[in-house]
Amino acid sequence: MGSSSKEETASDGDTASGGASPSDDGRLFSEGERVLAYHGPRVYGAKVQKVELRKKEWKYFVHYLGWNKNWDEWVSADRLLKHTEENLVKQKALDKKQGVEKGTKSGRSAQTKTRSSADTKAEKDDTKNNASKGKKRKNESGNEVRLFQNLMMYLIFQLVYLFQYNSLVVLL
């Protein structure tokens, strides 16, 4: 996810909001609304979390669907599109132009579908039934520490041996 760029889709004469008409107070999007959001050269599915009027401009706090909340950000209306079939086609065309396969995310693990609460609960139960990952990591790091300690002891003994041998040669 990088800098914002929409020249590819804005050239066809549509507004960045996908032809959205403003509400009574001038907002193009409302809280809880599912939208498409530009982030760099790509368009991602997102949801408007908050809406605020800042410096006479509406700003929208969006959460990118399927992404960690660390990517959530405040954006202006020019980076958002209404979630319509027409705009989904634009999104797919941009992805195709970028050479991006469906379900792939640069630098992140892909989530192919939105999970229901039942799917999430089943996954948590599966995780609980499996062996504890914490113990595996603890043992692995313990093995690495022991290996490092043994290596250091070996090097110290070698150095002591060399110093003793060199001191005997000097004395003779």
- The string of pLDDT tens digits covering residues 19-38 is 444 566 778 899 999 999 99
Q: Rounded distance, CA 30 to CA 50, Å? A: 8
Read off the pLDDT of residues 128-148 as tens digits, 9 standing for 90 and up: 555 555 555 555 566 778 888
pLDDT in tens, 50-91: 999 999 899 999 999 999 999 999 999 999 999 999 999 988
Residue 75 within any structural domain of the chain: yes
Number of C-beta neighbours around residue 35 at 10 A: 28
The per-residue pLDDT of the chain, averaged, comes to: 74
Q: What is the pLDDT at residue 76?
A: 93
The pLDDT of residue 3: 44
Find the farthest-apart pair of alpha carbons in the chain and give their distance in angstroms, rounded. 101
In this prediction, residue 73 carries a pLDDT of: 95
Structurally, the chain folds into a number of domains equal to 1
**How many helices, marked H, and strands, marked E, lie in the chain?**
4, 5
Supply the CATH number for residue 47's domain.
2.30.30.140
Structural contact between residues 79 and 37, judged by C-beta atoms closer than 8 angstroms: yes
Q: Is residue 51 part of a domain?
A: yes
pLDDT at position 95, please?
A: 86
CA–CA dist 63, 50 (Å, integer)? 10
Q: Is residue 12 part of a domain?
A: no
* Domain annotation covers residue 38: yes
